[in-house]
Structure 1
Amino acid sequence: MRPDGDPEPDDYGLPHVDVVVPDDARELDRDIVAYRREERQRRRRARLARLARPFTRFGVAVPIISGALLIALVSGLLMTAFGPRPTQRATVPTRTATPTASPGYVGGYLPTGVVSMVGRNRQRGSISDMAHGVIAVVPPDCGCGKLVNELATRTQESHLQFWLVIDRRYGPSVSAAEADKQLRALGGAAHGGVVELVDDATNLLATTYVPDGAGPTAILVKPGPIVTAVIPDPTPGRQLSDQVKALTNA
């Protein structure tokens, strides 16, 4: 600057800039603080942009998919917590009990054989699966609906199972279709409990425990499955009820 106060000419043609140099550097503290604050804000925005880049790359698709997955997860948890529980069925005991007689006799195991479980559809089953309950073997046209209902009621009260079998040793006229028809008719008489209908096509149960030409027979079975009693012509009443109830402690 010249002594008269006018700026010296600029030989480079640049515009004139007033530069003030403070006498004390501490006067720049506020400017430094403001600069650092702006730098921190800039770095924060840059970090947020890096984090959001994977989501913004695909537009709104990722948020929609994430929301759908969250809704599905919450729905699954609610259905698991408050949904219907499956009906618990009695488990089939394994052969852990010790028999006191040979198979086919009282005190021994049930004979080994194959039967058909007659429900909405026929299913192959095993006699050894018929454990802890009562097996009723009845002749065709027995007219024993009252007995069937009594056994169904007593087994239901004692949390036992009840199987109903038709004795098909009465000539070729008792076909599988006829046996099914009679089983379903007798099963319909069991108003006091649940009855499982069984078609023993080989008549193994009847041949083993029921004399030829005999009437209804109740076979009491404890876990094992071991036969504890064979009751010919059982009569509804207190004695039969007590015999069935005793199976709960067998």
Structure 2
Amino acid sequence: YQNDAYGSNGAKVITNTFVNNNLTVKSTIIFDIATEDIQGDLETILMNSPTRIIVVWAEALYTSLILQKALDANVLGSQFTWILSTSISLTSFNQTDREKLIGILTVEPVTASIVNAPINTTLLHAAYELWQKYEPETFPGLTNVDYYALFAFDAVWLLIQSLQQLCSIIENNSSSCLSFNESSFCFDHHFINSDLLLNIISTTKFLGVSGPIEFNSNSTDRINGSYY
């Protein structure tokens, strides 16, 4: 995993999930994003390990660099099963190297439409129309919108709906529903009605542009509508 907050937190969650499902993580290998190199000798680490399954948690750019290191160390192909968390471009690899990449698995989140599950097409078309109207130069085309853009849209839409409901509950729908507890130290600022807002979020469900949206108080993950 890459050695930043994204990488270390992701590795921690993956490890905990494996442990909770009786799977053993024998070792973790760090990819230093500053030096763009793996800490330690990759070939020695993997060849001396009893496991033959490697899970890579890194952004696409670093994943490509990690795979190149693995190619150089000759630890791909039939010896190990590599599972990636993001898609990568193969254009940087020559034909010989590409053959060694055969068998690599990629597991990444996709929207409901990819698996023919329902989405809110009305909301999606409205969002696309606004995008093309106000920022046409950034619109990539209907078929080229990144999945994470749709996930982000649904997250913002959930927040908007929850704030609207929060303000309708608080008397007179006044600006006080969005008040913060001020502090001279910026990290001590907090939303006064945060508990109520979180309760509303956990009970709000709707059909979004990426699929069904629903949460509960026991998890930060969607309890419905997640597809890979």
- TM-score greater than 0.5 by the shorter chain: no
TM-score, normalised on structure 2? 0.23
Higher RCO (C-alpha under 8 Å, 6+ residues apart): 1
Q: TM-score, normalised by structure 1?
A: 0.21
Decide which structure has greater strand share.
1
